[in-house]
Structure 1
């Protein structure tokens, strides 16, 4: 058989020319083995793959793509213009806005759009009635106009004839008007035909321009260099970025021709751009926030430079802040009080910059702080700027408990009233003692405010006059060590919450700092009570909401996109302004070869000279339960257990308020002085308690004698 001879397959002659002539190498039939009775498998898959490749080749053809692109521009532009015309002539826009408001649960906005729709219908009805009335009155008005105009022209003609003494001039004005009308008609006849011919082309050009501006062509048909992204996030750039997030409801709305209502067009604000737009139905702000990384990429930004949030008072509105490229990764300027100046506790201290580059004042009076973030996120930078600023007010007393071994606060020691650091049991006990003392201090200051007849808060004049009312700042760093303590954790959480709730008007500021933000290491009530909540880099949205508040991640206020070690000192914060937002804390350096902290502390110490220390105990003495029980028993031989507990709570509320019978038994039983039943009621005997005290004193004397030997 020669090369040109036809092949036979199962008795049929195979054609020499393949139907798939674009790919002859794929048209070859599979070989038929000897003895095969069934025909070979159909070549459907080969043909489908080939056709798909042909379609791709056609789509990549420049001429075909240009034709589809410009045709789609015209069709899409026509659709958009038609929708705009329809919206302008009907209440379709009002109905659409009402549906959006209903979906977001904003009844007030629904009523507003209903009123707008009713006003529009009333105005439209009025216009229609006026048009009908005009059509009825038009013939009469035209006739009266013609007669009146003719009369005026005749009067002018008579005046002209009288002046020229020529009767023929009476018709001169009329003839002039007739000639003018003739010239206008001639010019209209010359222009009308070309205009009528060009009108369809102008309409097509207008539709094409609108379609091109809205990019209504398929993605594959757009120019290869069609990436029109720019660093300026104007309205078109924002819409393009939103349209490429892969959100199905948003894509469907855009396909249907949805046009956003710009509550605030993209405007320059500080070192970035700010815009607000109402999202379509089925697209909450949470969907946009979850796609933040893609949105930032579409806007040619890093995730830290784009913040999509939902305003507190505008449901369904996307509040988009886009920073200038790279501005949030540049170093912050020096701290304003680094080399000179003083501070006022009652006015606050400069502590950070917001996303717009504006200075953020950290309030101290009537404020408490919860600061959290994983290790390396820069929590200390904010704490140090707050403390250094407070130290530049000579009235302020600062106590620090850091339940870890680190040197963040060592350089401040000359100006601190106390510094306790370490995570051993005695350091936890010291923190508990300070907490108990704070409970009593808050109560004492509250009573003093009531005594002097003020129900507001401590003022600077009051603090200058009375040293016992001077401002205090108490820092509890690595506080999770305290709240997770098996022995003291429960009491610590109760005391911390009690002090935080009551301390604000008494000029006592608390700073709770932790790298953990779970329920075990952070009392739930703390984040609800503090005035300032700061979240540095956080791993999950549960931790984010534990710090900033429930629903904050959902509304776009999230620190989960911050990266520890990269976004150092950058945090999402609430309480510094009316709405939460991004802050970048000042960085006062204390590292090898650079020490900016010590000079500030030295200035603070110099300002402090001549100011007497406040008459406040540094730390409450650890209570002696046995001696306290003996004290509350007094001269009574036996006292009911509940009465003893009541007297102990009055004697030292910070320590004994939460005590129960089991706690009392725990301290008395080792000495055999525990409560017992008398006449069917549990009592505590004075003799037993006194014997227990004498026994303990004897044991202490024996221990001292052994030490001397």
Structure 2
């Protein structure tokens, strides 16, 4: 239809129609131009995406790291699973094994656990992704794609030759491929200023904290793995807090991390900023709920309020271990075993490593320690660390009171000023006398310090003892009380007369319960002797109200708890505040032998460590060194003096009998005259026997149990002289 653009019309409508018709050719050109731009953009996207796909540039380093880690973990999972099943099976067998089968099973279990630990450590190293790993993975993916493309093209050409219709049908996939490749890039769809995070294989964005800046930072991509708490980033951690009931879903956006999730020893740590109005204590008391949300064991989690300079009551620190038992199962020997001398004042007590491998030291001077927990988890070993450090410092006086007899504390007889064991009525009264007498002596020391402070202030600054005063005989006094529950039970059966008010109006003697007096005595010792060097270590197996009196617990600034059965028992030992702040001995497991939660009071807070170990033979050697140090320093006092004399005399008798038997065996004599035996003793060991006379040798052999001289029969050209038979002396040596 031809149009005359110069034709005129009178109607307004016709005028409008003419205008639209006149403008139509311009609109057509605009539509064509816009369509061409869109097609060019699609074509550019297709070419760009196809090129990136063929060269594997569409895969980010973060995605490659996730793929590498997943493949490695899948390859190692089966071996770890089999080894874990073996460990569980051996543990089950050990619980029902007889005393003859148990040692063999224990050896196999220890080997399996060690192997599992090595695998876990090697797995952790294996999961680290290096720059070379990324380059190799990208080239592998590129070769795979190009190889697949070439194979597909070859198959298509062959199919077209064999069956043209089938080959032509394959062209129907081109529009679909064109649509997929021509779609706008994700970055073009994001709002202005939004960060374009790379995407993980799971389809979720990689958190900014985990985005690698350089190849050297790539280990951070796989920092938090599913085996380490099922957390992939901040969003996952916040979700776990919601599942645990620490925060609500409505508070998700108000909860964030202060910093990033980062490695910390054999695990990872994060500092969590809670919503306003939510206290850190809300998270601290929900360890078990959080463990359930993370699908891990509660023994792997540690939560504590953030006490750093930037911390506040709405922020807590979370640490999650890579293994169920981050403390391990082996024993760590104490450094005190090899120490020849120890400065209790400056070096304190080396305790052991925490779950992250950091070692901790406790300073007990000016404070006391209460130790509680279930039987068999290491309480005596922990107290032994304190006693060993004190034993190797000759300025420290030690008093030992234990509620039952046994070898645990026997080595301290060599150095203890007082050593008493048992819980009979007589012993209970003796314990009360010892405690009261020690308090009186320490108060006299306080009086002397007051005098020194007035006459020589520099000798007693702050009115306290100093290392210099300790070296002169005014050293610290360590009171070790073991089996506290046995002592208190025994004391409850004893009535003690009140000396200040001996009789009532009816003429009867007034008495008080020995238990009340014992609790008051121990508590008073802690209170009034602290400033003059008094220290107490109290150990109990039953962490309940009867065995851990509040009056005694509250004056002990430091409290340590091994495994207990519930938070109520934990509070009995550590106190409500410590448990509220995250101290959790009730969350320790059967595998936690040797693991102790120590609350040091004040700003130090609590720490959980695997305590070092000193076995009984090593403890005895330490105490013998401590005795030598005290003998040299002139600080050996009390019961140790008498015990040492008897011990030295017994050792001298044994040494004489041994020397005589050795001499006769070397000479192959079955008997010897006294003169002959003494002659050979002087020639063999002159430093010991050179000044000895015949009469002295006879007297000492008689005291050693060898008896008097006997007729020997013909010997040395004599008809029947007096002397000693070899068997006569050997029988005395063997106690016959």
Return the match for 2:619 from 563, 574, 597. Answer: 597
> By how many angstroms is 1:458 displaced?
0.9
Any conservation in 1 of the 2:377–2:563 contact (CA below 8 Å)? yes
SS in 2 for 1:243: helix
1:203-231 alpha-carbon deviations (Å, 9 max, x no partner)? 39959959943699xxxxxxxxxxx9534
Return the match for 2:548 from 522, 547, 562. Answer: 522
> By how many angstroms is 1:512 displaced?
1.1
Hey, what's the Cα distance between the residues in 1 that align with 2:245 and 2:290? 16
Partner of 1:471: 476
The answer to whether structure 1 residue 575 and structure 2 residue 592 are counterparts is no
Give TM-score, length-normalised by structure 2: 0.50
5 Å-filtered alignment, 1:340-489, equals: 340-347=339-346, 348-453=348-453, 454=460, 455-465=462-472, 467=473, 469-484=474-489, 485-486=491-492, 487-489=513-515
Return the match for 2:290 from 288, 295, 318. Answer: 295
1:337-363 alpha-carbon deviations (Å, 9 max, x no partner)? 212342112121212323332222221
> By how many angstroms is 1:533 displaced?
0.9
The answer to whether structure 1 residue 562 and structure 2 residue 588 are counterparts is yes
Any conservation in 1 of the 2:372–2:540 contact (CA below 8 Å)? yes
Hey, what's the Cα distance between the residues in 2 that align with 1:297 and 1:232? 14
Partner of 2:722: none
5 Å-filtered alignment, 1:4-403, equals: 202-203=189-190, 209=199, 212-213=203-204, 229-232=225-228, 236-237=232-233, 240=236, 243-244=239-240, 247=243, 250=246, 252-253=248-249, 257-258=252-253, 260-280=255-275, 284-293=279-288, 295-296=290-291, 302-311=297-306, 314-325=312-323, 326-347=325-346, 348-403=348-403
1:364-413 alpha-carbon deviations (Å, 9 max, x no partner)? 32121111111112101111111111111122221111112332112332
1:256-280 alpha-carbon deviations (Å, 9 max, x no partner)? 6525332343333344433211223
Any conservation in 1 of the 2:187–2:196 contact (CA below 8 Å)? no
1:258-307 alpha-carbon deviations (Å, 9 max, x no partner)? 25332343333344433211223676545544542453466575433311
Decide whether aligned partners of structure 1 residues 214 and 294 sit closer, same or farther in structure 2, where only a CA change above 3 A counts: farther
SS in 2 for 1:552: helix
Q: Which runs of 5+ in 1 are unaligned?
A: 1-193, 217-227, 620-709
SS in 2 for 1:525: helix
> By how many angstroms is 1:510 displaced?
0.8
1:171-229 alpha-carbon deviations (Å, 9 max, x no partner)? xxxxxxxxxxxxxxxxxxxxxxx99965786339959959943699xxxxxxxxxxx95
Any conservation in 1 of the 2:301–2:321 contact (CA below 8 Å)? yes
Instruction: Say which is worse superposed, 442-451 or 485-494, in terms of deviation.
Output: 485-494
Any conservation in 1 of the 2:563–2:588 contact (CA below 8 Å)? yes
Any conservation in 2 of the 1:368–1:509 contact (CA below 8 Å)? yes
Hey, what's the Cα distance between the residues in 2 that align with 1:609 and 1:460? 18
Hey, what's the Cα distance between the residues in 2 that align with 1:238 and 1:429? 62
Any conservation in 1 of the 2:479–2:536 contact (CA below 8 Å)? yes
Any conservation in 2 of the 1:230–1:299 contact (CA below 8 Å)? no
> By how many angstroms is 1:246 displaced?
6.7
Instruction: Say which is worse superposed, 244-253 or 333-342, in terms of deviation.
Output: 244-253
Give TM-score, length-normalised by structure 1: 0.52
SS in 2 for 1:613: coil
> By how many angstroms is 1:579 displaced?
2.1
> By how many angstroms is 1:249 displaced?
5.1
Decide whether aligned partners of structure 1 residues 478 and 371 sit closer, same or farther in structure 2, where only a CA change above 3 A counts: same
Hey, what's the Cα distance between the residues in 2 that align with 1:303 and 1:249? 16
SS in 2 for 1:351: strand
Hey, what's the Cα distance between the residues in 1 that align with 2:306 and 2:578? 11
The answer to whether structure 1 residue 492 and structure 2 residue 488 are counterparts is no
Any conservation in 2 of the 1:557–1:580 contact (CA below 8 Å)? yes
1:468-505 alpha-carbon deviations (Å, 9 max, x no partner)? x1222111112233445332111222222222112222
Hey, what's the Cα distance between the residues in 1 that align with 2:527 and 2:259? 38
Hey, what's the Cα distance between the residues in 2 that align with 1:572 and 1:543? 13
Decide whether aligned partners of structure 1 residues 285 and 362 sit closer, same or farther in structure 2, where only a CA change above 3 A counts: same
Partner of 1:82: none
Return the match for 2:532 from 502, 506, 519. Answer: 506
SS in 1 for 2:551: helix
Hey, what's the Cα distance between the residues in 2 that align with 1:589 and 1:572? 21
SS in 2 for 1:553: helix
Hey, what's the Cα distance between the residues in 2 that align with 1:302 and 1:415? 45
SS in 1 for 2:258: strand
1:41-99 alpha-carbon deviations (Å, 9 max, x no partner)? xxxxxxxxxxxxxxxxxxxxxxxxxxxxxxxxxxxxxxxxxxxxxxxxxxxxxxxxxxx
Instruction: Say which is worse superposed, 437-446 or 516-525, in terms of deviation.
Output: 516-525
Hey, what's the Cα distance between the residues in 2 that align with 1:539 and 1:309? 21
Hey, what's the Cα distance between the residues in 2 that align with 1:246 and 1:199? 31
Hey, what's the Cα distance between the residues in 2 that align with 1:238 and 1:202? 24
Hey, what's the Cα distance between the residues in 2 that align with 1:457 and 1:251? 50
Hey, what's the Cα distance between the residues in 1 that align with 2:485 and 2:548? 7
SS in 2 for 1:596: helix
Hey, what's the Cα distance between the residues in 1 that align with 2:242 and 2:264? 29
Any conservation in 1 of the 2:228–2:267 contact (CA below 8 Å)? no
Partner of 1:117: none
SS in 1 for 2:586: coil
Decide whether aligned partners of structure 1 residues 239 and 432 sit closer, same or farther in structure 2, where only a CA change above 3 A counts: farther
Hey, what's the Cα distance between the residues in 1 that align with 2:622 and 2:636? 22
Q: Which runs of 5+ in 2 are unaligned?
A: 1-180, 208-223, 454-459, 493-512, 642-736
1:433-454 alpha-carbon deviations (Å, 9 max, x no partner)? 1211122122112111111003
Hey, what's the Cα distance between the residues in 2 that align with 1:238 and 1:442? 57
Decide whether aligned partners of structure 1 residues 531 and 200 sit closer, same or farther in structure 2, where only a CA change above 3 A counts: closer
> By how many angstroms is 1:553 displaced?
2.3
SS in 1 for 2:635: coil
Hey, what's the Cα distance between the residues in 1 that align with 2:316 and 2:337? 38
Any conservation in 2 of the 1:241–1:298 contact (CA below 8 Å)? no
Hey, what's the Cα distance between the residues in 1 that align with 2:246 and 2:401? 51
Aligned-residue CA RMSD in angstroms? 3.5
Hey, what's the Cα distance between the residues in 1 that align with 2:205 and 2:253? 11
1:125-154 alpha-carbon deviations (Å, 9 max, x no partner)? xxxxxxxxxxxxxxxxxxxxxxxxxxxxxx
Report the count of equivalent residues: 407
Partner of 2:685: none
SS in 2 for 1:568: coil
Return the match for 1:608 from 605, 630, 636. Answer: 630
